[in-house]
C-alpha cells in the first residue's frame, strides 16, 4: 500500500482518538458518562444509531452478500420502519420517562431481581459475541493488507477503540459517530462511482444493472412462504419485525442511544430517522456489491478472493487439480465476458432473440465459474484442513486493495475502520453500562459513589474489549459476517423481547412466570435451531412466543401478580 494511504489512515486514527479524549472533558458524573447527561439532540442520536448499524460488517459482509446473491438480502429490512413506529409510541416514551440507565432495570420493578439479572446476562452474552464479529470484519481487511495474524489485527483495532471509549463515555461515542457517519457514506458512494467508472466503454450503470438482473441479482421480492428459506418477503416482514423490536426496543446498545436524547419527542425522532433512511442506505451497500459483480464480469477476478492458503495448495499433491480448475475458471470467465458484451449490445438494439441467446450463454458461463470456484474451495479445505474457509468476506477488500487509486485506498480503509469503531465503541459502552448498573451496583455495591462506579465502568469497557477480541479471532471465518451477527443475535433477541411483551401485555404475569418463561424460550430456540431446518430469523418469533405463552401459564399456576391492579 502506498505511503499516502498510510498517512490518511494514520491521520484518521489519530484524529478520532484525540477527538474522543477531548470530549471526555464534557463527562461529569455517572449520568454524564453513561447517558451523556440526557442532553443530545435528536439528529446526533439518530446519526449515532445509524452509524452503529452501518458497521464494518455492513461494508464488508453485506457488499459480499450483494456480490454473491444480489438484492435479496434487502427483504430483511422491510419490517424496520414498522418496528420503529411501534417502538416510538410504546417503549421509547416508557423507558425515557422511567429515568432508567438500562432497559432491564424496569424488569425488576415489574417482576423481580432474578428476571432482571437473567435478561441482562443474556444481553451481555449476545452483545459481547456480536461485538466480536464487528471487530473481526475490519480485521479481515487488515490481515489481507498487512499480512498479520487475525489475532494481531483484532487487538490492533479493538484496543484503541476501547481506550477512547473508556475515557470519553457515551458523549464521545455519540459525537464521533456523527463524524464517522459522513466518512462511511462518503466511502460507499466513492466505491460505487469508481465501480461504474471501471466498466468498459459503452457499458453504463443501466447496462450493469441489466446484466446483474440477468443472473437474478436485482430480484428483491420473494413471496414464497418457506421457513427454511433465509430471506423472503415473509421472513423480512414477520420474523425480522420481532428481531427489530427486540434489538431497538430492548437491547441496551440501542436503548442507551435514545436515553441520551433531550426529550421523548427527540428520542422518537431519532428512531424514525432510521425508519426513513436505513433501507435506502442498505440498498446502496448491496448495489456496491452488485456493481462489484458486474465489474468482475469484465475485469478478470481471482478464482478465490481469499488467497490465505493458495501457496500451500500449489505446493501440495493437489496442485495439478487446482491448476486445472483455475484453467476452467479462466476459460469460463472469457466466455462470460464475451457473452456479457454481446448481451449488452443486443439489449440496446432491442433484439429479443439475441437477448435470449446471450442471456443463456452468460448464465451458463457464470454457472461454470461458480462450479469451478466451489471445486477450488473444496481443494483448499482438503489441503489446509480449514473447514470454515470462506470467500465472500474478501470480495470488497480485494477490490479496494487492487483496483482503487492511491489515496482512495486509504479513504476506503479509513471508512471501514470508522464503521467498525463507531459500532465497537457503542457496544462496549452498553456492555459496561449493563455490567455496572445491573450487576455491580445491584448485587455488589449498592452504596458505591459516582467516582467508584465511573472507575468500574471504565474498567468494564477494557475487559469487554478484550473478551470481544477473543471472540473476533474465531468469528472471521464463520461465513458471511452480516449473517453471523444476526445469527448470534437471533438466539437471544426473541426471548428477551418476550419478557418485555409479557411485562407490558399481561398484567397477571409474575416474576416466576417471567423467569421460567425466559428459560423456556431459550430452550425452545435451542431445540428449533438444532433439530429443525428453520432459518435463524424465525428463531426470534419462536423465542418471543414461547416466553409469553410459558410465562402466562406459569404465572397462572403460581398465583398470578398480586400487584396486578397497580401494573
DSSP 264-303: HHHHHHHHHHHHHHHHHHHHHHHHHHHHHHHHHHHSPPPS
**Pick from 339, 330, 334, 344: nearest CA to 363:** 339
Q: Please state the pTM of the whole predicted model.
A: 0.81
H helix or E strand, kind and range, residue 529: helix 511-531
Residues spanned by the domain of 279:
3-296+399-490
Query: Rounded to whole angstroms, how far apart are CA atoms 491 and 136?
Result: 20
Q: Quick one: 37 and 166 in the same domain?
A: yes
Alpha-helical runs (H) found in 299-404: 310-314, 319-348, 352-384, 395-403
Could you tell me if residue 187 is inside a domain?
yes
Per residue of the chain (567 residues), give pLDDT as tens.
Answer: 788 988 888 888 788 777 777 766 656 677 888 887 788 888 888 888 887 777 776 777 788 888 988 888 888 888 888 999 999 888 888 888 888 899 999 899 889 999 999 999 999 988 888 888 778 767 876 776 667 777 788 887 887 788 878 877 787 778 878 877 888 888 888 889 999 998 888 888 888 989 888 888 888 888 888 787 777 888 888 888 988 888 888 889 888 888 888 888 888 888 888 788 888 888 898 999 999 999 999 999 999 988 878 888 989 999 999 999 999 999 999 999 999 999 999 988 888 998 899 999 999 999 999 999 999 999 998 998 876 677 777 888 888 888 888 888 888 888 777 777 778 888 899 999 999 999 999 999 888 888 889 899 989 998 998 888 887 877 655 544 555 555 667 788 889 999 999 998 888 899 999 999 999 999 999 999 888 888 888 898 999 999 999 999 999 999 877 665 444
Could you tell me if residue 394 is inside a domain?
no
Query: Rounded to whole angstroms, how far apart are CA atoms 361 and 340?
Result: 9
CA dihedral sign of residues 198, 199, 200, 203: negative
Query: Rounded to whole angstroms, how far apart are CA atoms 384 and 392?
Result: 18
Could you tell me if residue 301 is inside a domain?
no
Q: Quick one: 83 and 160 in the same domain?
A: yes
Last residue of a domain, one of 389, 417, 451: 389
Q: Quick one: 210 and 154 in the same domain?
A: yes
**Pick from 329, 344, 373, 330: nearest CA to 214:** 344
Q: Quick one: 118 and 249 in the same domain?
A: yes
Q: Quick one: 336 and 210 in the same domain?
A: no
Q: Quick one: 107 and 244 in the same domain?
A: yes
Could you tell me if residue 302 is inside a domain?
no
Q: Quick one: 379 and 405 in the same domain?
A: no
Domain at 94, CATH number: 1.20.1730.10
- Are 305 and 394 a contacting pair, CB within 8 Å? yes
Q: Quick one: 126 and 223 in the same domain?
A: yes
Residue 550: what are its φ and ψ, rounded to 5°? -65, -40
Q: Quick one: 518 and 536 in the same domain?
A: yes
Could you tell me if residue 224 is inside a domain?
yes
Query: Rounded to whole angstroms, how far apart are CA atoms 50 and 73?
Result: 18
- Are 440 and 423 a contacting pair, CB within 8 Å? no
Q: Which residues pair with 40 in a beta bridge?
A: 261
Q: Quick one: 177 and 77 in the same domain?
A: yes
Exposure of 169 in the CB half-sphere (CA atoms within 13 A): 24
CA angle 258, 262, 263 (to 5 degrees): 80
Last residue of a domain, one of 389, 418, 433: 389
Q: Quick one: 237 and 374 in the same domain?
A: no
Q: Quick one: 329 and 198 in the same domain?
A: no
**What is the count of structural domains for the chain?**
3
Could you tell me if residue 254 is inside a domain?
yes
Residue 168 cell numbers, joined:
470519553
Last residue of a domain, one of 328, 361, 389: 389
Query: Rounded to whole angstroms, how far apart are CA atoms 33 and 167?
Result: 9
Could you tell me if residue 215 is inside a domain?
yes
Query: Rounded to whole angstroms, how far apart are CA atoms 86 and 77?
Result: 15
Amino acid at each position: 500500500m502506498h505511503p499516502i494511504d498510510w498517512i490518511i489512515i494514520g491521520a484518521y486514527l489519530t484524529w478520532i482518538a484525540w477527538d474522543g479524549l477531548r470530549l471526555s472533558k464534557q463527562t461529569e458524573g455517572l449520568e454524564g458518562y453513561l447517558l451523556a447527561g440526557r442532553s443530545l439532540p435528536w439528529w446526533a442520536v439518530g446519526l449515532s444509531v445509524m452509524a452503529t448499524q452501518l458497521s464494518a460488517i455492513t461494508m464488508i459482509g453485506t457488499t459480499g452478500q450483494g456480490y454473491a446473491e444480489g438484492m435479496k438480502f434487502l427483504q430483511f429490512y422491510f419490517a424496520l420502519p414498522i418496528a420503529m413506529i411501534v417502538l416510538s409510541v410504546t417503549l421509547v416514551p416508557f423507558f425515557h420517562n422511567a429515568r432508567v440507565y438500562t432497559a432491564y432495570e424496569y424488569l425488576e420493578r415489574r417482576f423481580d431481581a432474578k428476571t432482571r439479572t437473567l435478561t441482562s446476562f443474556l444481553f451481555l452474552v449476545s452483545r459481547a459475541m456480536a461485538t466480536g464479529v464487528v471487530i473481526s470484519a475490519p480485521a479481515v481487511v487488515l490481515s489481507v493488507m498487512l499480512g498479520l495474524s487475525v489475532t494481531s489485527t483484532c487487538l490492533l483495532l479493538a484496543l484503541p477503540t476501547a481506550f477512547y471509549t473508556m475515557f470519553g463515555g457515551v458523549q464521545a461515542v455519540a459525537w464521533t459517530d456523527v463524524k464517522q457517519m459522513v466518512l462511511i457514506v462518503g466511502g460507499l458512494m466513492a466505491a460505487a462511482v469508481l465501480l461504474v467508472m471501471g466498466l468498459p466503454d459503452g457499458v453504463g450503470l443501466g447496462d450493469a444493472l441489466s446484466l446483474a438482473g440477468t443472473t437474478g441479482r436485482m430480484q428483491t421480492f420473494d413471496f414464497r412462504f418457506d421457513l427454511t428459506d433465509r430471506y423472503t418477503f415473509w421472513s423480512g416482514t414477520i420474523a425480522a419485525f420481532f428481531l427489530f423490536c427486540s434489538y431497538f426496543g430492548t437491547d441496551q446498545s440501542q436503548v442507551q442511544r435514545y436515553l441520551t436524547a433531550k426529550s421523548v419527542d427527540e428520542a422518537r425522532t431519532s428512531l424514525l430517522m432510521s425508519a426513513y433512511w436505513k433501507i435506502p442506505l442498505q440498498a446502496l451497500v448491496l448495489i456496491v456489491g452488485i456493481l462489484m459483480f458486474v465489474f468482475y464480469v469484465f475485469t478478470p477476478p481471482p478464482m478465490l478472493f481469499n488467497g490465505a492458503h493458495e501457496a500451500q495448495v500449489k505446493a501440495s499433491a493437489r496442485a495439478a487439480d487446482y491448476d486445472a480448475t483455475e484453467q476452467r475458471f479462466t476459460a469460463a470467465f472469457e466466455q462470460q465476458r464475451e457473452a456479457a458484451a454481446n448481451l449488452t449490445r443486443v439489449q440496446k438494439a432491442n433484439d429479443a432473440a439475441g437477448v435470449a441467446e446471450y442471456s443463456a450463454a452468460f448464465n451458463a458461463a457464470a454457472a461454470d465459474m461458480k462450479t469451478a470456484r466451489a471445486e477450488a474451495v473444496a481443494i483448499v479445505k482438503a489441503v489446509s484442513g480449514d473447514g470454515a474457509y470462506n470467500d465472500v468476506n474478501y470480495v470488497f477488500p480485494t477490490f479496494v486493495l487492487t483496483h482503487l487509486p492511491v489515496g482512495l485506498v486509504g479513504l476506503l480503509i479509513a471508512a471501514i475502520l470508522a464503521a467498525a469503531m463507531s459500532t465497537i465503541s457503542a457496544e462496549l459502552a452498553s456492555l459496561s453500562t449493563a455490567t455496572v448498573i445491573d450487576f455491580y451496583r445491584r448485587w455488589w455495591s449498592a452504596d458505591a459513589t459516582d467516582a467508584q462506579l465511573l472507575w468500574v465502568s471504565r474498567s468494564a469497557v477494557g475487559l469487554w474489549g478484550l473478551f470481544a477480541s477473543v471472540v473476533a479471532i474465531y468469528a472471521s471465518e464463520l461465513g458471511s459476517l452480516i449473517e453471523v451477527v444476526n445469527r448470534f443475535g437471533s438466539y437471544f433477541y426473541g426471548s428477551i423481547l418476550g419478557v418485555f411483551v409479557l411485562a407490558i401485555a399481561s398484567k397477571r404475569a409474575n416474576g416466576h412466570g417471567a423467569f421460567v418463561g425466559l428459560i423456556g424460550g431459550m430452550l425452545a430456540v435451542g431445540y428449533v435451531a438444532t433439530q429443525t431446518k428453520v432459518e435463524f430469523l424465525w428463531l426470534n418469533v419462536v423465542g418471543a412466543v414461547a416466553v409469553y405463552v410459558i410465562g402466562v401459564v406459569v404465572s397462572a399456576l403460581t398465583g398470578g401478580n398480586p400487584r396486578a391492579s397497580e401494573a
